[in-house]
Amino acid sequence: MRGVVVAGTRSGCGKTSAALGLAAALSRRGLRVAPFKCGPDFIDPGFLEAASGRPCHNLDSWMCGPGGVREIFARHVQGADVAVIEGAMGLFDGFGLTEEGSAAHTAKLLGLPVLLAADASAMARSAAAMVRGYLDFDPELAFCGVLLNRVGSPRHGEILRQALAQSGIDLPVGILLRDEGLAAPSRHLGLVQAEEHLNPSRLGALAEWVESSLDLDSLLDTLPECDPAPSADPEPAPPRARIGLAWDPAFRFYYHENLRLLRAAGAELVPFSPVADRRPPENLDGLYLGGGYPELHGLRLSDNASMRRAVRGLAESGLPIYAECGGFMFLMDSLVMDTGQLCRMCGLFPYRATMNARFSALGYRAVETRQDSILGPAGTLARGHEFHYSSIPEETYRQATLFSTADRNGPREGPEGFTRHQTAASYIHLHFGSNPALAANFVTACAKGAD
């Protein structure tokens, strides 16, 4: 089994398109591709899943630690011929000014080389200086090639090749000609979701785009072989709690590892749609309401009064509910969309979320619980990530909150983590791999109600 990290010089340089094209090109050759995504992103993994036909797992050395990254990789690379790992932001960007959480750190932890993607538009010899800086920044990092993106013409590409060769860069160089038709459209949290944009025709075009610029056979030959030992997972626990999982176009942001750990702890996860179904499934012992785009489906959520009443009724009856970001917004009183239209939500928390033109919060978060909850006893530690455009006025908070939080600058002010009855909700997406007890504690809380 071989592997490569496709990383970029910065966000928006084309690394996602390059990673998708590479995964699609390798897949159509009959190779079994295991996709991974560095960092906390939820949207790019959906694209990589479509390109490879396998679930895409996040690898984040700040949230999960070096051991967690190696374990997740080893577990989900089994049976694959090649692993394609897409970086996040720029190659060396992660948690503040450390390498934690970066694509570079992940590559070193796994012993894999980097295929560096760079935007070479409006550049000639300067492209060599840019690439050389990345190649020399960390002597411990290995590279297997360079992909120069948004190249204006074959002549421009030849100039770039000569400039890199003149500067002593002795790596395979791929020239990706500018093709704006291949770029995925974006919205406020990143790219549109894969099911809205990606189809077999577009995947084929991406595969052709990469394969025409890069000698894939030579690339594969240069990749080191790796054989990570499979994880010694215990036997799955027998189901002891039936947990409803919000899963539809409005709620689809989940870390696969969170779901795996819940199942390992004895959860039976039952998908349902808050948008389309009239009420949650019967005989539930808990609910997991993940993030997503409730603001894009606000009118349908508002119109689905029977679902909203049912979810609030379950919460008020004491059913354990864990909600993140979009799921938290769904539990609020209302949501004001960017059009200014007000949409009724479940009304469990007396807050009104308002969509803003610019993001309200972005970054890694360390969390410690202040009191006992469905996530565990007071003092439970976790790590996660926060990214949202909605906000709720601070003057509306009328209760002590569950979390004390910190970011790369230290402790954060302001409330976070909201509880009512047996519900814990937050704007932060916690990665259960940062503390697997989170999953076990939540399942235990649900199972107590089932007994």
pLDDT of residue 398: 60
**Considering 38, 56, 325, 343, which one is annotated as catalytic?**
325
Residue 373: other Cβ atoms inside 10 A: 22
Judge if 2-222 and 241-450 fold alike in CATH terms: yes
pLDDT in the model for residue 369: 97
Q: How confident is residue 189, by pLDDT bands cut at 50, 70 and 90?
A: low
- Residue 451 pLDDT: 59
Position 378 scores a pLDDT of 97
Which of these ranges, 277-281, 299-303, 389-393, has the smallest mean pLDDT? Answer: 389-393
- CA–chain centroid gap for 336, Å, is 25
Query: How far apart, in whole angstroms, are the C-alpha atoms of residue 166 and residue 134?
Result: 17
Tell me: the pLDDT tens digits for 74-95?
999 999 999 999 999 999 999 9
Candidates 3.40.50.880, 3.30.360.10, 3.40.50.300, 1.25.40.10; correct CATH number of 241-450? Answer: 3.40.50.880
Residue 201 has pLDDT above 90, yes or no: no
Tell me the pLDDT tens digit for each residue of 24-44. Answer: 999 999 999 999 999 999 988
Q: Is the pLDDT of residue 381 over 60?
A: yes
Residue 181: the pLDDT is 67
- Single-letter residue type at 328: F
Length, in residues, of the chain: 451
pLDDT at residue 233, rounded to an integer: 72
pLDDT score of 207 more than 70 = yes
The DSSP code for 319 is -
Prediction pTM value: 0.92
Domain boundaries, the chain: 2-222, 241-450
Mean pLDDT of 411-434: 93
Percentage of the chain lying above the pLDDT 90 cut: 77
- CATH fold for the domain made of 2-222: Rossmann fold (3.40.50)
CA-based R_g, the chain, Å: 23
**CA separation (Å) from 6 to 9, 17, 70, 256, 360?**
10, 10, 18, 21, 29
**Reported confidence tier of residue 51, pLDDT bands at 50, 70, 90:** very high
CB 380 within 8 A of CB 438: yes
CA angle 273/259/404 to nearest 5° reads: 100
**Separation of alpha carbons 257 and 263, rounded Å:** 10
Higher pLDDT, 258 or 197: 258
Residue 191 predicted with pLDDT over 60: no
Is the per-residue pLDDT at 192 higher than 90? Answer: no
Q: Residue range 354-372: average pLDDT?
A: 91
Is 56 among the catalytic positions? no
